[in-house]
Chains A and B, each alone.
Chain A
Amino acid sequence: MFDPETLIRKGLPKGHFKDRIVRTLLSGVTYSIVLIAALLFGKIVVDGAPVLFKAEAPFVDLEFLTAKNETLHVFDDEKGNRYQLPASQYSAYVVKNGAEAIFNEQTYSYSGGGIIGPIAGTALLTIGSMMLALFFGVSAAIYLSEYAKQSPFIHAVRLAILNLAGIPSIVFGLFGFSVFVLIVPVITQDPSDRSILTIPLMISDYVISFQGWSSSLMAGCATLACMILPVIITASEESLRAVPQGFRDASLAMGATRWQTIRKCVLPFSLPGILTSSLLAITRVAGETAPIMFTAAVAAKDDLPWEGVDGPLDVLSSQVQALPYHIYTLAARIPNSEYTQRAQYGSVFVFLVLVAILSLGSVILRSKLRSKLKW
């Protein structure tokens, strides 16, 4: 009755080959993605690393990181030696040897010198927008998660915020341009001609003028902050919700007010999550080109953001260079040749290293803070 031949099937199971094929296919797709990533990073590292790193001490080409951006002049001298000099050294060379010593001259904009301008601009944009986004985002998240009653209206608000995260960054760029650059009010003594509305303040001749901040660091920060807000809000809310309800109950039952409870029993324990997600948001803010294209970024600027200004407000209302925009300019707006590669791949490599450091930082920060807070 129990014939072992029928109980234990011999040979390959039914569908064996199909299973093998599916498995091969899926693993192939997975590894091809890895291959793409490897090629991408490989290309940038192979071409970019030599720009930044040197064989001799201090092993890093500090000049590339700390020098200002300049036009690159490529030329031969009378003996046929090829020179690649940034504009400042080029003019010194011309002064020394005379203009007749230059042969076959070619110039490449933005390709000489270093990238301190874009680095500084990106740093300022990132810091400014993260400060704005964290303040507004965490405040909104606290309201949504701790104060708001879970009504249909709040659900709609939450949905709207989530949807905001899906909007392409170029749309945020246009939004920032039309709102922060052109409309938002400023207090000034001499309103611009394109001011939409001016309201006298009755204090000497100051007026509130709806003329926008024009293309400036603060318009860029505000636009980037808007773009990153939904990410910060959603992540912060999740971190807040991850704090066990028991902590809130216990705190409230001991006679703490709502705000005391949030400040002492909820925020400290959700901070790791908020910080981690913010660090990831930083990499996005630092990397976006589209939102700053019309609102803050400029392709070339002789001064660093803090040079030749009359104070912090002047820094905020001036344009800056930015790394992603610089990369875009180098890649798309000037003729490519072997001489422009140094600046192009160097910038991309520096940018990638920055992003990698920030991501690594978020991972380390998370694991450190997590190990401290367990429940």
Chain B
Amino acid sequence: MREVSRGTLVIDVERCKGCELCIPACPPGVLTMSEQGNKMGYLYPELSPGCTGCTACQQVCPDFVFEVYKYKKAVPTSIDNPETT
């Protein structure tokens, strides 16, 4: 696992149609598909720590579910990080 997250996402999971195009598109490989579906029954991507904020997922997404943020200062990916759940 990477030590810091340089960026993060807001994912609108209810609009996701589960096409999985973002999973291979993510260069650091921090997106994985969920095990539970959304309200429409589609699996959706979940973000693990280590995002670089490169916007590749936002570029390839046909359903516009990603919003990308870049941290001003890189955030450590330790467990007590308030950004992780």
Are A and B subunits of one complex?
A: no
A residues sitting closer than 8 Å to B (CB atoms) are none
B residues sitting closer than 8 Å to A (CB atoms) are none
